[in-house]
Structure 1
Amino acid sequence: MNVKYCLLNSDYKHIKYKEVSENLWKRKSLQITAAKEQKFAFQIMINCDTEVFCSLDKNNNISYKGLENKLRLNLKVDESLQQYFNISFLGYVKDDCGLIVSDPILNEPAIMLEKDISQMLWVEGIIPSSYDKDSIDIVIDVYSQYGYEDEKKETTIKVKLNIVNICLKSLKDYDFHLDLWQHPSNWARMYKTPLWSYKHFEIIENYIKELAQIGEKVITLIVSDFLWAGQSCYKIHKNASNLFEHNMVKIIKNKEGNIECNFDNLDKYIEICMKHGIDKEIAIFGILGNWAARDFGNPIKDYKDPIRLNYYDEKSDTFKYITSKCDLKRYLKLLFNHLEDKKLLDKVYIISDEPNNTEVYWECIDFINSASNNKKLKYKTALHDENFTNNCMHMVDQISLSLPLAISNMDKLKDEKNKSKTATWYVCCFPDKLNNFINSPLIESRLIGWFTYLFELDGFLRWDYAIWPNNPWENISYKYPAWKAGDMFFVYPGKDLNPVRSIRFENLRFGIQDHQLLKLLESKGLSKNIIEKKFLEKLLGKKAEMKAPDDRSVELNYSLDYNLYCDALTEIMKML
């Protein structure tokens, strides 16, 4: 058996079945520099000249083909560090153009490697704050075995890790305002479990726990039905997928004709999020700026915002939709009173997603405020409309601008920040550059943290943590070319009810850690202007030269050279 390998950085994206250059196979050495409590990763590409069953643990794994060729990779570090390191196979998905691309970080302990077809492995680790050495060797021994013969060592892979004696905060505790929206109805549908059932909440907790680890700060509360009109999924028949979201609140109209609410599901969702440290903000979705009034309908008479609220009518023993502003106001009052009783209202922001009609927006805000019993309500918008931005940005309590708008409104954003508002930026199905698609350069996910620092913003928003088309393991392409593969999710649905992370998700994590290092450097007395001149302009380009030719595209001059960022980070850590 002939086994070959090469070592690659965490930004490498492998296209399966594409020929690998001989120069790449020559990469047999790699050094990494990391702070304590900073998660890091590297990749191994491996290739065998025969089909082989490959394992990553010490179990005697066997394939259905029996005992023929086997391979085992054994990761070795100091015994005190073993719990902090892991090696995984990368899985592959088909992008919009039919390329088979590495993305999911699999949990499988063993897989079959095809003859002469390269396979990627992901090695990740964290050095705990208590560790006292300044470097270690990460060792992976590669063993082969045939039948009942003894294992034979084929090769040893070594990576040197240089440890810098500074300690990063957990991202849970770090003040980066990460706002990845949650879609729990989609999760129930994927796992074919009833909404808000015991099993559904088990799934919710698994996904929230993972999301909290990357530093999520915002609880997504969905308090009406079909607020995005299922992203118009009813119009899409290629890879048909159900993307509707349901109200977390159970609404009842009693026999006397009065609206009542059961908030148990909403409360349990909040409780799970807060248990895992997602507790800075509660975003209320579904009562302002809902989508597709014309295409998908609006059941409430004489109300311009399509608020869809399904309820159970005790008198007729049937389900209906709220159709009057009076009942809508009663529902809103009950919702706000409940949040106040739970002492949560001060964390609440009522969010609208890309509103584009200022007249309707303010008219609906006046109506919502009239249902607040004189409570102070806060509003948040994710903005993509230039006119709305010019006229209304200064009047809301929190803003997130699309990347093109952020670039064209730098001065206005600075003014809003000076008012102590939280301000973030976002990407979605646009722009093509600096995004998180499957076909985006992987380093672009990491650069989220760098550009957040450069823009002097508080964090990053994206509409998707995990919302999946019908079968993301088989077909992730949906609405192409309007949407690109990967636009909908950072994690995949695991068979064990847990999320399967992606290398895009992990690179986003690394970028937030980089943001922390930049802020640490600033806290040591180096000015933002000096940091920008010394590091950022060389890597990201000058802010003055960044352009947004239209509302869906940007012109940026950032480097895609991973080694340049590594060099900068190493220098930054030395300065700390």
Structure 2
Amino acid sequence: MDYQKYNLTNTSIMKKKNLLLTLAFAAMPVMAQMPDTELPDPHPAPASAWQGVTKAALGWGNIDTQYGRNAVPRMADRLDLYAWRGERVSAQALVLVPQGGKVTFSVSDLRNGRHVIPAEAVNRYFVRYVMSDSLRQGEYLVPDRLDPARELTAEAQTVRPLWLDIRVPQTAAPGKYRGTLTAHVDGTGLTIPFTLEVGRRTLPEPSEWAFHLDLWQNPYSVARFYGVKLWSKEHFDRMRPMMKELAAAGQKVITASIIKHPWNGQTEDAFESMIGKTLTQGGEWRYDYRVFDRWVEFMMDCGITEQIDCYTIVPWHLLFEYYDEARNCTVQEKLAPGSKEYEDYLIPFLKDFARHLKEKGWFGKTCIAMDERPKSLLEPAYAVLYKADPGFRVKGAINYFGPEVSERMYDISFSFNQPLLTPQQIAAHRSKGHKVTFYTCTGHVRPNTFVKSRPAEAAWLGWHTAAADYDGYLRWAFNSWVKNPWQDSRFVRFEAGDCFLVYPGGTSVRWERLVEGIEDFEKIRVLRSELKGKKLQRLNDEIKKFSPVKIEPG
């Protein structure tokens, strides 16, 4: 299949929505306590690489390449893009700054005769360098963070990548649009042209996408990074732009923690319980849902409304916490699934939680979620859950396959390196109205969305979803930021960037490419409904190439 002909490449936000989102990101002030300067390059290019480069230059790069900060790259003098109406397409340009100086850049309106895609429909970012590492290379800088700042002071003999996120209005007239990118280095202007051909097909709005996107949100990380009080107005204001960006990528699921530290505090900012649990002096249980309700209502207001995943009744450490009025202290107990104590603690809570969810109209949207738990723990947990209310649905991220998984989980996500489900297994799930997705995480070398991963790997995931006939993709961390992600993406437990896909105040190259792959999935879905005969067969044959669950290095 001709990739450019079908252009299964890049999401759809109308002009006004896009402008508001851009302004919201750009308006966020830099926090004084978090340095924004890039770290020194452990492997700088030799100064000789810049011999003969005496003047600033501007050219086009490509979105599949991670350009070194001190290397002198090859650049193109023009760029031709293609997009559907309603699609989001990316481009990367490069500014060579031999003498150093202040860099700014802008984009013109895109014009096609009397038809115009306004400059406001283009998000502009400086690509910032963050520290990563690998066993082979040690520590090194990677261009990943997309910073919406309006200017940047560049050091001498550096390359400054510029990223464009062009969001084509659904109402755009088909045809070839022409525009320019202009950069200024200490006032000296440089301009390069580009074209964008808009096709006749229209990508639906993200709220109408079928792709089941489940990226876990961490509100605690946001409060810590910005130094704001948890659940305050300032906290929600900080989260709103990034959660709207998540909704604009088609996110379907709200992540809620209903116990303390469901993953045993594996991130910089541990997940606390959004539901308070108190054992009164009279021996009765009282539950406080105020934080849970505010969080869910906030996320729904941001546009994420389909599903609420509640973690968990089988935590990794099996520790459960509550406040005991009689003892006037917080109590933490280890309760094993299958024990009387486990049942005595959970059944009153689950019964009351079901009641509350039904009052709010959320019960049918809610799943009690499990993460990589073995059969020995799942079976007794199911018994307690269904004893409390047989209408509860279950979500699970699972690294094995068995009846306890396939028959009971409404929303199931398999590890990428597990064998693909057969068409018969997928059909059995869908016959019950269930969903099947896959996930990547630490340990999955390739493809993945680490900072060190090749940018195209993130887009590949959407194609793999279509090839496997799955419903979507799960990743355990949308924004579990490390101490200062603006400078260093590494974390002690996992690969660099494993904990987050977006940065405070902006997105990332990995994020833009992941969204591209999700759009590709939706475009494939549209094409499969339109094409027939040999054209459909040709499309399906090409998509099958994206089905392997092991990608060899190279």
**TM-score computed with the length of structure 2 as normaliser:** 0.82
| Partner SS state of residue 491, structure 1 | coil
Question: Is the contact between residue 406 and residue 425 of structure 1 (CA under 8 Å) also seen in structure 2?
Answer: no
Partner of 1:5: 58
2:538 to 528, 534, 539: 534
Q: Which amino acid is the alignment partner of residue 64 of structure 2?
A: D
Rate the CA distance shift 1:539–1:443 in 2: closer, same or farther, 3 A. farther
1:160 to 195, 206, 217: 195
2:279 to 253, 265, 268: 253
- Describe the superposition over 1:479-521 as per-residue Cα deviations: whole angstroms up to 9, x where unpaired: 36xx211111001123xxxxx2011111111111111111111
Q: Which amino acid is the alignment partner of residue 169 of structure 2?
A: P
Structure-2 separation of matches of 1:493 and 1:472: 8
1:30 to 73, 76, 79: 79
Matched, 1:493 2:504: yes
- Describe the superposition over 1:521-562 as per-residue Cα deviations: whole angstroms up to 9, x where unpaired: 1111437x964x52465576275xx3x5xxxxx2469xx9xx
Q: Percent identity?
A: 24
What are the within-5 Å matches in structure 2 for residues 78-157 of structure 1?
Answer: 78=111, 81-96=118-133, 97-132=138-173, 134-143=175-184, 153=189, 155-157=190-192
Q: Which range is displaced more, 198-207 or 427-436?
A: 198-207
Partner of 2:30: none
Structure-1 separation of matches of 2:495 and 2:364: 37
Partner of 2:67: 14
| Partner SS state of residue 95, structure 1 | strand
Rate the CA distance shift 1:144–1:345 in 2: closer, same or farther, 3 A. closer
Q: Tell me how far 1:204 sits from its aligned partner.
A: 3.5
| Partner SS state of residue 402, structure 2 | helix
Q: Structure 1: 5+ residue runs without aligned partners?
A: 57-72, 146-150, 234-241, 293-305, 495-499, 549-553, 561-576
Question: Is the contact between residue 449 and residue 514 of structure 1 (CA under 8 Å) also seen in structure 2?
Answer: yes
Rate the CA distance shift 1:505–1:144 in 2: closer, same or farther, 3 A. closer
Matched, 1:308 2:308: no
Q: Tell me how far 1:421 sits from its aligned partner.
A: 1.7
Q: Which amino acid is the alignment partner of residue 139 of structure 1?
A: T
| Partner SS state of residue 69, structure 2 | coil
Q: Structure 2: 5+ residue runs without aligned partners?
A: 1-53, 335-340
Q: Which amino acid is the alignment partner of residue 402 of structure 2?
A: T
Question: Is the contact between residue 139 and residue 158 of structure 1 (CA under 8 Å) also seen in structure 2?
Answer: yes
Question: Is the contact between residue 409 and residue 434 of structure 2 (CA under 8 Å) also seen in structure 1?
Answer: no
Partner of 2:204: 169
Q: Which range is displaced more, 176-185 or 394-403?
A: 394-403
1:213 to 244, 248, 257: 248
Rate the CA distance shift 1:126–1:198 in 2: closer, same or farther, 3 A. closer
Q: Which amino acid is the alignment partner of residue 176 of structure 1?
A: F
Question: Is the contact between residue 225 and residue 310 of structure 1 (CA under 8 Å) also seen in structure 2?
Answer: no
Structure-2 separation of matches of 1:117 and 1:410: 51
Matched, 1:381 2:406: no
Structure-1 separation of matches of 2:445 and 2:393: 32
1:516 to 509, 512, 522: 522
2:512 to 506, 510, 515: 506
| Partner SS state of residue 457, structure 1 | coil
- Describe the superposition over 1:67-119 as per-residue Cα deviations: whole angstroms up to 9, x where unpaired: xxxxxx55443565122113221111011132211111102111111222111
Question: Is the contact between residue 250 and residue 263 of structure 1 (CA under 8 Å) also seen in structure 2?
Answer: yes
Matched, 1:478 2:491: yes
Matched, 1:448 2:448: no
| Partner SS state of residue 208, structure 2 | coil
Matched, 1:280 2:293: no
What are the within-5 Å matches in structure 2 for residues 216-365 of structure 1?
Answer: 216-231=251-266, 242-287=268-313, 289-292=314-317, 306-311=318-323, 313-321=324-332, 324-325=341-342, 326-356=344-374, 358-365=375-382
Structure-1 separation of matches of 2:107 and 2:545: 42
Structure-2 separation of matches of 1:401 and 1:503: 25
Structure-1 separation of matches of 2:231 and 2:172: 43
Structure-1 separation of matches of 2:484 and 2:182: 36
Q: Tell me how far 1:126 sits from its aligned partner.
A: 1.8
Q: Which amino acid is the alignment partner of residue 348 of structure 1?
A: T
| Partner SS state of residue 227, structure 2 | coil
Partner of 2:411: 398
**TM-score computed with the length of structure 1 as normaliser:** 0.79
Q: Which amino acid is the alignment partner of residue 16 of structure 1?
A: R
| Partner SS state of residue 496, structure 2 | coil
Partner of 1:64: none
Structure-2 separation of matches of 1:556 and 1:344: 44
| Partner SS state of residue 519, structure 2 | helix
- Describe the superposition over 1:333-362 as per-residue Cα deviations: whole angstroms up to 9, x where unpaired: 221110111121111111110112x13211
Question: Is the contact between residue 322 and residue 328 of structure 1 (CA under 8 Å) also seen in structure 2?
Answer: no
Q: Tell me how far 1:447 sits from its aligned partner.
A: 1.2
